Structure 1
Amino acid sequence: MQDRYRENETVLFGQEHRRREPESSGGRSLRYEDKMVMILTAAGGVAALDAQAVFYLMPFIATDFALGSSQIGMIGSAVLVGWAIGGLLMARASDRLGKRKPFLVAAFACFALLSGLSAAAMGFATLLIARILIGLAEGPVIPIKQAIVMVESTPSRRGFNMGIVQNFGAQLLGTLVGPIILIAVAQNAGWRWAFLVAGIPGLIIALLILRFIREPAIAAQAAPSPPSENGQSQRNGAHAWRHLLGNRNLVLCTLIALAAVAWFFVMLTFLPLYLIRNLQFSSSQMSLVMSLIGVAGVISAVIVPAISDRHGRRTAIMIFSAIGAIAPLGALYAGANPWVIGATLLIGCLMLGTFPLIMATVPQESVQPADAATATGLVIAVAQLGGGAIGPILAGWLADRIGDDTPLMLAAGLALIATGIAPFVRETKPPHRHDCAPTHPE
């Protein structure tokens, strides 16, 4: 059956953009926007599964390689470091060249192949190098796929689409289903095969993107930046970075993301230990309680961005950042009842739904379209290096000197810091009545 197309003219970022949407002869087929969201959501889940595989497989790896605690920590942070660097550099290259799709296809193909390098690692050094390389390959995934979603989404559902694409698949596959699959493979076939299982779907995603995702019509050449004082484009060289770093929303979102990512990784690192050592939970009780983080991530990926589409980005960020303090405070003050602590963790970790807003939606709505991927890459790079790598180190240092409850107090404080910064973010939600894109606040 041949598809016929109807031309749908929309206005995005203040520019006319003609979109071709398929319509089957028998009725309305799946819109390209919906298909794009489905594919890129699955892509996020596959990338998260591969990035987090080393955490789930570490008990097996540490035994085989006789790794010490410091070596385990270095391997765990290797992907974050590579992710931050690769994301920023490749996002900027994508913006400069005005191309999205080739970078995204290459990212998934590369990390799928590099998973074989992890599986073939013969010791600490080779595994460390493999994980850094995988981080470099996966880094561009979020900035570039979100730049695609930004352009291709109907403005009135842009926040919802970006939230689903960034968090839903990542939490569902990477946090909920991933551990079950990978640990089962490791127990039955070995951790090396588990790395391959985590990586092979990347090739499938690369093929799906190559076949079904189109190159966005709005790219670098379609949206020239205003000239600087000497007449050069602000996107060139140092002018581009000064322009981005002078953007109020971008700076504020970076600070919020720094606090939010630190909140998450501090809890992820120290909450399991606190539940077992201080509250005397069994391993199974701890595992059940911690799994609710993934449940909260899946739920929040839907409701928080949807709320931002109706009531504004700033409002959603403020409310759910404040709610984030409930998770660590519940562990500290709700007693030793797993059900009560699980409930506070489920509610508090709805803060995860703000991550797509502060890392992608607001930054990209605040800059020119040609700088969209760089904006997200910059926020993620600072958040991953500062919050993901330094946050747990600081929390551990405080715990050694003050007490075991200090990391969780720090996590609560970080959520409140994010809440305190959020009111200063300029609203970027597009007005529904015109269904058009917002201006770009500086």
Structure 2
Amino acid sequence: METKKFWTYENKLLTLLFFVWGFVFVDRLALNFLFPFMTEELGLTNTHIGIIVSAFSLTWACSGWFGGLLSDKIGKKKNILMISVLLFSVCSLLTGVANGFLMLIIFRMLMGVTEGPVFPVAQSLLSVASSPHRRGFNMGLFQSSSTALLASFLGPIIIVALANTFGWRPTFFLTIIPGLILFFLIWKVVKEPVELTLKDEKPEEKVPLSLVLRNKNVVVSVFVAIFTVTWYLNINTFTPLYLVDKGISPTNMSFIMAALGLGGVLWGFGVPAISDKIGRKPTMIIFSFITAVAPLGFIFLGTSQMALLMIAAFIGNVGVGTMVLSMSNMPSESVPAKYVATAVGFIMAIGELVGGVGITALAGMAADKYGLVAPMWIAIVSTILCGFLAFLYYETAPIKINKQKLPQVTPTNTEI
């Protein structure tokens, strides 16, 4: 009997892209963990912080859309990925030389430009290389667990420890090291896809966006994405500042943020798995409301209740699982395969632009006017709104409904 090799190209690519995407989010969230060390020296207000995070989201969303289109048009996906990894690592290093708000926002906007193409390019590489029966598993591991484990769980512990030891500027300087290692590994491991479409699928057609938006679940997911991105960025941006301002030490803050990340490792797979058993819609409703546990715990638990704060953070990060459902699973199950890229791409872009750019900037202004508790309440309201919006979905889980009976996006049969 022939023994199957584990270290196939598919597994090599999955492992490499797991670390690439995770490191992208380490770079993205590192600034949030280091804000408590930077604000006084650079004279940053909460409004400045909200604008910096929003500006990054703006360039990230635009370059992600453009980078994906460019890679499809000219090919050379490997080269685009290599260049993106190298440039965003350089931009992360440059963050360490910023001397004020203006320089910091320029460097972070440049980082957004260079990081944006990584996800669509990596996703397309992994899709082509994946076995048909493993595509869902591969994409879930790549998209959710990598960021939760590397950026949200290990990130705050390591980054805050480095900042306590060396200072925040050298911490940014050190981020170029893993970037250079990943650049080299991409060059050695990644193969340029010979075929730009999956072997068992026809080439995707260009789909009018107006046709995709005739599907009810896609429209609901657009609004849910706005509030899930708002929740995610408010929690990850302002919680470190809020906890330190509340009297918690930077080290203990890093442990609470790590508990948040550890929850994300579990819930990133756990919530979609639960939805396979009880349905997508009830899972979205239940866990959207549970997501409010984290910011509520941060507000009402005392600084000495570390264990409870970490438990609240762990439980309250179920939102990463509902994010996977609303931005990937439900849209992809609601429309025919040839419409999925258009639907998911539009949902993610609007979520970043409105939730990441607009509302997060307003959250920073609210923090200056009403205190750092304001972004916590914004996160709470966002999760509650997601829960109520989830009632508008129609069910798509295979266990609950026959796929042949799902509403299809055609001119004569659409779900409005």
Structure-2-length-normalised TM-score: 0.78
Shift of 1:59: 4.5
Q: Kindly provide the amino acid, as one letter, of the partner of residue 55 in structure 1.
A: N
Shift of 1:65: 4.0
What's the secondary structure of 2:351's corresponding residue?
helix
The residue aligned with 1:8 is none
Name the CA distance, whole Å, in 2 between partners of 1:387 and 1:302.
24
Q: Kindly provide the amino acid, as one letter, of the partner of residue 355 in structure 2.
A: G
Name the CA distance, whole Å, in 2 between partners of 1:52 and 1:344.
20
Shift of 1:85: 1.5
Matched, 1:420 2:398: no
Could you say which structure has the higher strand fraction?
Answer: 1
Shift of 1:118: 3.2
- Native 8 Å contact 1:160 1:302 kept in 2: no
Matched, 1:51 2:18: no
Shift of 1:125: 3.0
The equivalent position to 1:322 in structure 2, one of 276, 289, 293, is 289
The farther-off stretch of 168-177 and 362-371 is: 362-371
Q: 1:86 to 1:427 in 2, by over 3 A?
A: farther
Name the CA distance, whole Å, in 1 between partners of 2:406 and 2:123.
18
Shift of 1:259: 1.1
Residue deviations 1:296-322, cap 9 Å, x none? Answer: 112212322333455554454333223
The residue aligned with 2:412 is none
Counterparts of residues 42-441 of structure 1 (less than 5 Å): 42-96=19-73, 100-121=77-98, 123-150=100-127, 152-153=129-130, 158-214=135-191, 215=193, 217-219=195-197, 222-225=202-205, 234-235=206-207, 240-269=208-237, 271=239, 285-308=252-275, 312-332=279-299, 337-364=305-332, 375-395=343-363, 407-426=375-394, 441=408
Name the CA distance, whole Å, in 2 between partners of 1:374 and 1:153.
21
Name the CA distance, whole Å, in 2 between partners of 1:438 and 1:199.
51
Residue deviations 1:308-359, cap 9 Å, x none? Answer: 4555544543332232122233445667743334323311212212223333
Residue deviations 1:64-110, cap 9 Å, x none? Answer: 54445544443333322221111122223344557754443332232
Name the CA distance, whole Å, in 2 between partners of 1:165 and 1:305.
15
Q: Kindly provide the amino acid, as one letter, of the partner of residue 326 in structure 1.
A: V
What's the secondary structure of 2:175's corresponding residue?
helix
Shift of 1:400: 7.6
Name the CA distance, whole Å, in 2 between partners of 1:61 and 1:204.
27
The residue aligned with 2:413 is none
What's the secondary structure of 2:5's corresponding residue?
coil
Name the CA distance, whole Å, in 2 between partners of 1:371 and 1:99.
24
- Native 8 Å contact 1:253 1:358 kept in 2: yes
Shift of 1:44: 1.4
Shift of 1:260: 1.2
Q: Kindly provide the amino acid, as one letter, of the partner of residue 388 in structure 2.
A: G
The residue aligned with 2:414 is none
Q: Kindly provide the amino acid, as one letter, of the partner of residue 181 in structure 1.
A: I
Q: 1:400 to 1:191 in 2, by over 3 A?
A: closer
| Structure 1: tracts of 5 or more residues without a match | 1-22, 226-233
The farther-off stretch of 177-186 and 289-298 is: 177-186
Name the CA distance, whole Å, in 1 between partners of 2:102 and 2:154.
29
Q: Kindly provide the amino acid, as one letter, of the partner of residue 25 in structure 2.
A: A
- Native 8 Å contact 1:276 1:283 kept in 2: yes
Q: 1:277 to 1:193 in 2, by over 3 A?
A: closer
Name the CA distance, whole Å, in 2 between partners of 1:51 and 1:86.
15
Residue deviations 1:117-164, cap 9 Å, x none? Answer: 434545543332221111011112223333444555456654443232
Q: Kindly provide the amino acid, as one letter, of the partner of residue 418 in structure 1.
A: C
Q: Kindly provide the amino acid, as one letter, of the partner of residue 354 in structure 1.
A: T
- Native 8 Å contact 1:41 1:169 kept in 2: yes
Q: 1:31 to 1:360 in 2, by over 3 A?
A: farther
- Native 8 Å contact 1:162 1:360 kept in 2: no
Q: 1:293 to 1:217 in 2, by over 3 A?
A: same
Structure-1-length-normalised TM-score: 0.74
What's the secondary structure of 1:358's corresponding residue?
helix
